[in-house]
Amino acid sequence: DGWVAIGFSTSKSMYDADVFACKRESTGDTVNVIDTWNPSSGRTNNIDNTQSGICQHSTEYSEGRIKCTFSRYIDVLDIDQDLNLNTTLWQIYDAVSDSRGSGSASLSKHSRTPVTSDDRYNLVIDALTVGRNITPTDWPRDELIKTHGILMITAWILLAGTGIFFASWMKPTLPNGEWFQVHRAFMIASLFTGVVGFVFAFIANAKNTEVAGIINFNPDGVNTTHFAFGWIIIVLQIANPIIAIFRCSPKGERRWIFNLLHGHFIGIAAEILAITNISIGLYLINGFSTAFWLFIVFDVSLLAFQGFLFIVYTINAFRAPEQDRHVLLHSTLRSTFSSPPTSGESVEMSDVKGKETTKSEKPAKKKPVKDAPVVFSWISASLYMVIVTVIVVILIVLIALI
């Protein structure tokens, strides 16, 4: 019961659009018809300076419904603020908001994403030949975009985040390769979920763009950035497990290249880009909403938590005997501040420490080194997984309610 509007656009989006609204005053039930303009950049709505060419015939607010009739001059009167209605334009429907306000003020953000016509139409010509057959598309773009966002948050924050956590911090606590099994399971699940979410973005835009499946690039660059980052991320996400398949032996001379490429250059870069892109995506869905700010606060908190773990593990490693330091240090510091283990020592899950074993014997299970922060590691892992799960569930609910 705030305002309801229709619009005409050159880009099949809310950019570069001529918008006419019936708006209820902040106090009372008075309804005004206003002519507004969405510029070609920025997520703003501006009221036309003169309101020339629009004529209000009747308005009414009754039983929670706004009704109005008006006419509008076909040609352009407010230069750079009107569109010529005797041209082919996309038509925008179902733009509504609960926010009331003065008829002399611009419109607040709509409470749900409007729908658009299934094609461009000339309002003057097609009103005679097509008439009421000009209907908005029924393609469920909003639901598909929300599903895309939910899948990406699940893939990168819950699944990939947990897999990276175990690879980064749980090796000293799980020296028999259990950390790797958890890491691999979560990263495979993340890959599958991420690919499905990536495809959903194209399905969502299969009918709502001028080129099927391709996102409209608005002039302010936000959509363009999100689209470009998305392609980079999916390429890195697919490439990393392929690189892992062809990795060399843990004792190979060039193993350090794989560790650097897989774990740092590609793995960390993909995670950082994904978190950044999710932030952009939340903004595109609903602007600076509760979900957006919750995610920003979560990102900052996560960065601080990872920094805290890095400091604790590093201090613990330098307090330990030198022969155990290689196992306890984070991988980013191992090559600089510790020597690799000798042939009799082991840090990889596939090595066997101790006596020779026959084919029928199982290798003896290794125990964490004496100074491994076992209790601290499990408390940190449990805390991380609980908090991340709760945040992801809250974000999913907030996105679903948009």
pLDDT digits (tens, 9 = 90+) for 188-239: 999 999 999 999 988 887 765 544 444 555 545 567 788 889 999 999 999 9
pTM for the whole thing? 0.66
Which residues make Cβ contacts (< 8 Å) with residue 231, sequence separation at least 6? Answer: none
For the stretch 388-396, contacts whose Cβ atoms lie closer than 8 Å and that sit 24 or more positions apart, written own/partner, are 388/157, 388/158, 388/161, 388/162, 389/158, 391/157, 391/294, 391/298, 392/153, 392/154, 392/157, 392/158, 394/294, 395/153, 395/157, 395/291, 395/294, 395/295, 396/150, 396/153, 396/154
What span, in angstroms and rounded, lies between the C-alpha atoms of 86 and 76? 10
Which pLDDT score, from 0 to 100, does residue 213 have?
Answer: 43
Q: Which of the residue ranges 5-14, 31-40, 105-114, 191-200 would you say has the lowest mean pLDDT?
A: 105-114
Which pLDDT score, from 0 to 100, does residue 138 have?
Answer: 52
Which pLDDT score, from 0 to 100, does residue 335 have?
Answer: 56
Q: What is the pLDDT of residues 140-199, one digit of tens each?
A: 777 888 999 999 999 999 999 999 999 889 988 898 889 999 999 999 999 999 999 999
Q: What is the dihedral of CA 224, 16, 47, 142, to 10 degrees?
A: -60
Among 93-102, 240-249, 376-385, which range has the highest average pLDDT? 376-385
Q: Which residues share a beta bridge with 17?
A: 9, 38
Top pLDDT among 13 and 173 is at 173
Which pLDDT score, from 0 to 100, does residue 212 have?
Answer: 42
pLDDT at residue 322 is higher than 90: no
